[in-house]
Amino acid sequence: MEETFLELIEEHQQIIHRVCGIYRDSPEDREDLFQEVVFQLWKAYPAYEARSKFTTWMYRIALNTAMAVFRKKEVAMDLEEDMGRKYGAVGQTSVSENEERLYESLRQLNDAEKAIVSLYLEDYSHREIGEIIGISENYVGVRMNRIKQKLKRILS
Amino acid sequence: MELDDLKGSWQQAGSSDKNNAELRKMTKVSGHPKLKRIRAKLLIETGLLTVFLLTYQDAFDGAEKPLWANIVLIVFGLLFILNDLAGYFLVMKRVKGATIVDSLVGLITILKKLSVFSVVSSVLFGLSLILFFSTGLVFDDNKYLILAGMVVTLLALSYGSYQRWKRQIRHFSELIHEFSG
């Protein structure tokens, strides 16, 4: 069972990276969250029923874990130090800088909006997003309209 | 730029830098940053309490204290360790519901129970220690003052702990509210 699980996680680990990218600022915090998500996935795996796609199940657990860890609000830091902490710790390519910009834009949303928008960007339908989160399909539509407007302001 | 324009970038984002061995390590408690810390705290506290319980009869004249003070100290000491264990198991498996909102509702229920257990067990253990060391003493004004100071400090620390729990519970309640609008 462990081998199958590890193969699936290895194959789909980008999902965890993406969730970590929008819920955590620094590389260290992302690494901690990545480990926490893999641990929680492994703990939940025995109860996984193949009724839903593995990646859908993975998304639900990853988003849940990212939000279920209570973190005290960080004290505002010097801007330069803050930028260094975000971008300087690992060797970045131009691709990851683009990624970082994407994550940074999405991090300006609140935690609930981040969950909804990440599922939307992953191409889940409103019905599927509603099922994963536990809200109605119609309400997902309402929230998506608000998020789109909010992101338009952020991105412009 | 529209949100749909970001779909391509999003689906390309994220690396595949973790190999099988690294991922395997992450499924173990020893690979979990928070659990490792809680386990160390648990081991230290259990170790210290065990040493205390094994030596207090001689070191602190436990045999000369009333039996009830001894029993209260041991029971509430164990309750304090049990509280650490409960926290450990909560961190071990915190995602349980069929949906994200269900999981958050379940988490709040557990946190509410755990907050009461944590604050009560800490207060009781603190009071049992104070009781144990103060029984059999002849009190004068100075000792009463010290005793009052200890009780007030214990209550202040417990109040601080209660407030931290309350902040956590409020955070998750607000999160559910963000989802439901």
Residue B57 carries which side chain, given as an amino acid letter? Q
- Between CA B67 and CA B52 the distance in angstroms is 17
A52 CB-near residues (< 8 Å, 6+ apart): none
3-class state of residue B27 by DSSP: coil
User: What pLDDT was estimated at residue A65?
Assistant: 93
How do residues B97-156 score in pLDDT, each as one tens digit?
A: 889 999 999 999 989 998 999 999 999 999 999 998 888 788 888 889 999 999 999 999
- Interface touch B93/A40, C-beta < 8 Å: yes
Element (H, E) at A147: helix A137-155
More confident residue, B169 or A69: B169
Residue A122 is given by DSSP the state T
Task: Return the residue matching tokens 């069929």.
Answer: B98
State which of B10-24, B29-43, B154-168 shows the largest mean pLDDT. B154-168
Which residues on B lie below 8 Å from A67 (Cβ)? Answer: 100, 104, 175
User: What pLDDT was estimated at residue A81?
Assistant: 45
How do residues A105-114 score in pLDDT, each as one tens digit?
A: 999 999 999 9
Closest CA to B45 of B125, B107, B115: B125
Q: Is the pLDDT assigned to residue B169 strictly greater than 60?
A: yes
Which residues on B lie below 8 Å from A32 (Cβ)? Answer: 33-34
Closest CA to B110 of B125, B97, B121, B98: B97
Give the pLDDT band of residue A76 (cuts 50, 70, 90).
very low
Give the pLDDT band of residue A78 (cuts 50, 70, 90).
very low
- Interface touch B175/A67, C-beta < 8 Å: yes
- Between CA B154 and CA B151 the distance in angstroms is 5
Mean pLDDT to the nearest integer, B2-25:
87
- Which residue in B3, B20, B93 is closest to A10 by CB distance? B20
Task: Note whether B29 and B35 are within 8 A (CB).
Answer: yes
Q: Is the pLDDT assigned to residue A16 strictly greater than 80?
A: yes
User: What pLDDT was estimated at residue A73?
Assistant: 55
How do residues A43-61 score in pLDDT, each as one tens digit?
A: 899 888 877 899 999 999 9
- Between CA A49 and CA A57 the distance in angstroms is 9
CA dihedral of B85, B89, B92, B97, whole degrees rounded to 10? -160
Mean pLDDT to the nearest integer, A79-91:
43
Residue B137 is given by DSSP the state P
Q: Where are the domains of chain A?
A: 1-80
Measure in Å the smallest separation between the Cα of B6 and chain A Cα atoms: 7
How do residues A86-144 score in pLDDT, each as one tens digit?
A: 444 443 334 478 888 889 999 999 999 999 999 999 999 999 999 999 999 999 999 99
- Between CA B118 and CA B82 the distance in angstroms is 9
Question: Which of A18-22, B53-57, B126-130 has the lowest average pLDDT?
Answer: B53-57
- Using CA coordinates, name the residue in chain A closest to B14: A14
Q: In this prediction, what percent of chain A has a pLDDT beyond 70?
A: 83
- Using CA coordinates, name the residue in chain A closest to B13: A99
Which residues on B lie below 8 Å from A134 (Cβ)? Answer: 97-102, 179
Mean pLDDT to the nearest integer, B25-50:
82
Which residues on A lie below 8 Å from B97 (Cβ)? Answer: 64, 134
Task: Note whether B175 and A134 are within 8 A (CB).
Answer: no
Task: Note whether A139 and A130 are within 8 A (CB).
Answer: yes
Residue A123 is given by DSSP the state T
Task: Note whether B9 and A99 are within 8 A (CB).
Answer: yes
User: What pLDDT was estimated at residue A91?
Assistant: 37
Mean pLDDT to the nearest integer, A12-40:
92
User: What pLDDT was estimated at residue B1?
Assistant: 67
Task: Note whether A23 and A67 are within 8 A (CB).
Answer: yes
- Which residue in B14, B31, B180 is closest to A35 by CB distance? B31
- Interface touch B100/A63, C-beta < 8 Å: yes
Element (H, E) at B60: none
- Interface touch B15/A14, C-beta < 8 Å: yes
How do residues B68-108 score in pLDDT, each as one tens digit?
A: 888 898 899 889 888 888 888 877 766 678 899 999 999 99
Task: Note whether B12 and B18 are within 8 A (CB).
Answer: no
Q: For the domain made up of A1-80, give the CATH fold.
A: Rna Polymerase Sigma Factor; Chain: A (1.10.1740)
Measure in Å the smallest separation between the Cα of B36 and chain A Cα atoms: 12
- Between CA B115 and CA B165 the distance in angstroms is 6
Mean pLDDT to the nearest integer, B33-57:
80
- Using CA coordinates, name the residue in chain B closest to A41: B27
Rg, C-alpha atoms of chain B: 23
